[in-house]
A = this chain, B = another copy of it.
Amino acid sequence: MTTTEIAAARRREVIPEATVARLPLYLRALHTLADEGTSTISSEALAEAAGVNSAKLRKDLSHLGSYGTRGVGYDVAHLITSISHELGLSRRCSVVLVGVGNLGRALAGYGGFASRGLAIDALLDADPALTGEQIAGLTVRHIDDLPEVVVPGSIGVIATPASAAQLVCDLLVGAGVTSILNFAPTVLSVPADVDLRKVDLSIELQILSFHEHRKSLVTPA
């Protein structure tokens, strides 16, 4: 890290969580725009492409300290660099996936991560029958090898059954992982310094089910 970057990090205020969650959205829209040859874009147009309010977009970008030009808009290439750097995607980010079942295989074979600086670097499973198998160019290793594949900054992904999730989570934390994405439908407990996010498909469907149910109540068949 250069001294310039350190200074920039100090100067920069803390970025609101809600903003962080939208930066990847902007980044995707910007990549699309760049591919189309667009070099400059207004907050209005970019907000439209990202599906958000333009004032919100401007406020979000202002947190980055990346300045647009009044009367013109934002420089697409500069914004991509700026957001990528802020998200830590400039230097490739290592991802360790635990649980190579139905979901794990789909994730391992997915190309959408690598294209944005994220790459799955290791596949782990407790099933001896799976270790050694080649999936998407990676060799499945035994869960006991976890400490060997974790490097500082690694992100852990849990795709095991719910019953094994807390155990695997503890192993990850023990190996030094401080950022975990959990697909198992369980509440996991982690130390305060570990970031834990979850993706729960059942919950998403149940939320939709709720609204569908509500619609059927106000509009009785």
Contact = CB atoms under 8 A, between A and B. Distances in A.
Given A187-B50, A203-B25, A210 B88 contact: yes
Contacts of A49: 187
A178 to B, nearest CB: 6
A173 interface: no
Interface in A2-53: 5-6, 9, 20-21, 23-25, 27-29, 49-51
A217 B15 CA distance: 14
A interface, over-half SS? helix
Given A95-B205, A107-B201, A206-B24, A178 B212 contact: yes
Interface residues of A, number: 68
Interface stretch (A54-62, A72-80, A98-106, A138-146): A98-106
A44 to B, nearest CB: 15
A57 B205 CA distance: 21
A141 to B, nearest CB: 21
Contact of A23 (B29, B210, B214, B221): B210
Given A112-B185, A206-B118, A199 B197 contact: no
Interface in A92-132: 93, 95, 102-103, 105-107, 109-110, 112-113, 116-118
21 contacts: A1-B216, A23-B206, A51-B187, A51-B189, A86-B213, A87-B206, A87-B209, A88-B214, A89-B206, A93-B205, A93-B209, A102-B109, A112-B202, A113-B202, A117-B209, A118-B209, A155-B209, A157-B205, A178-B212, A180-B208, A197-B208
